[in-house]
Homo-oligomer: A and B are copies of this chain.
């Protein structure tokens, strides 16, 4: 599916290496990975994750703080059910990540939409509208869907508020590995002296989605409560896949694969921008993204992005409307275009259909 948002480049994944590591472990001791075990996951992988997030993301993490989960969504779900109570107010980036909104609502919390701008979350607006909120869901490295990074000033303001309000900051760092100019921004968690940040990461984008492995780094005070919750809802036994992933990281394959993807994604983004400039001038204007796996394509000012998106879907092109991610923030009309999994051959046909969706009236 061309342009699907969040779909990584599976064509680049080294399946041969993965299969070799798997076979090695299966030969050595498959029986060790059959039973129940510690709900926080395979201890060597928890160590490898702690080392990785410390080195690559500036997160302060002891292996004991690492809880392995099925992905960022399950992490937010566990956190929400553990630290919030029904009725608690929680700040939510507007526009923001819909799956997190759904999960926070499922836990009974009440979302307080807080707008974002070029410096990320408007902490001042959050404080004015709900200074006594119990938490915030935020993607400081790469706001979804707008793409901004939270500025240092805002980071400090957010942490200061969280300390005063004793609120929990859920830092969703879902695609921080893919930053094109310069170096990845360090995580907010590294600045947090008060233990208010719960850091969430995932291997769904950096390894492969079906692996269903992510992690959260809990502040020391929360480790026991989150471990207890993890054991209740989905006892994540140490599995062979976790052992394979440990080797994949420790033998350097992970870093090499991420580096290779980052290079390919930068190229794919450029190819997309060039093709749109060439073929769709006046209909769609793409703003280059510094990070992540999608760009925003701005439509002419009077367009109805939801209508364009649904016409495109009928033509087989999945480009969600920007307005879909809004709670109440005013937004110019736009579309989200994923470029990570985009192949040049598929792009031309997909852009032709997209042009039709933008130009056309209602689809038949």
Please name all residues of chain B whose beta carbon is closer than 8 Å to the beta carbon of A236 when the two chains form the complex: 212
- Let me know if A108 is at the binding interface, CB within 8 A: yes
Contact with B along A219-240 (1 / 0, CB 8 A): 0000000000100111111111
A108-B86 in contact (CB<8A): yes
Please name all residues of chain B whose beta carbon is closer than 8 Å to the beta carbon of A186 when the two chains form the complex: none
- Let me know if A31 is at the binding interface, CB within 8 A: yes
State the CA gap A18–B26 with chains docked (Å).
9
- Let me know if A148 is at the binding interface, CB within 8 A: no
B73-A35 in contact (CB<8A): no
B70-A234 in contact (CB<8A): yes
Task: Tell me how many chains of this kind the complex includes.
Answer: 2
Partner of A13, one of B6, B15, B31, B233: B31
Q: How large is the interface on A (under 10, 10 to 19, 20 to 34, 35 or more residues)?
A: 35 or more
- Let me know if A333 is at the binding interface, CB within 8 A: no
> Of A99-107, A150-158, A263-271, A293-301, which stretch is located at the interface?
A99-107
Which residue of B is nearest A37, CB measured? B210
Residues of A that sit less than 8 Å from B by CB = 6-7, 10-11, 13, 15, 18-19, 22-23, 26-27, 30-31, 33-37, 70-71, 73-74, 77, 81, 86, 99, 102-103, 106, 108, 208-212, 229, 232-240
Please name all residues of chain B whose beta carbon is closer than 8 Å to the beta carbon of A240 when the two chains form the complex: 210
Further contacts, 19 of them, CB under 8 A, given A10-B31, A35-B208, A212-B235: A6-B36, A10-B34, A15-B31, A23-B23, A23-B26, A35-B210, A70-B70, A71-B235, A74-B233, A77-B233, A77-B234, A81-B106, A86-B108, A99-B232, A106-B233, A210-B238, A210-B240, A212-B234, A234-B234
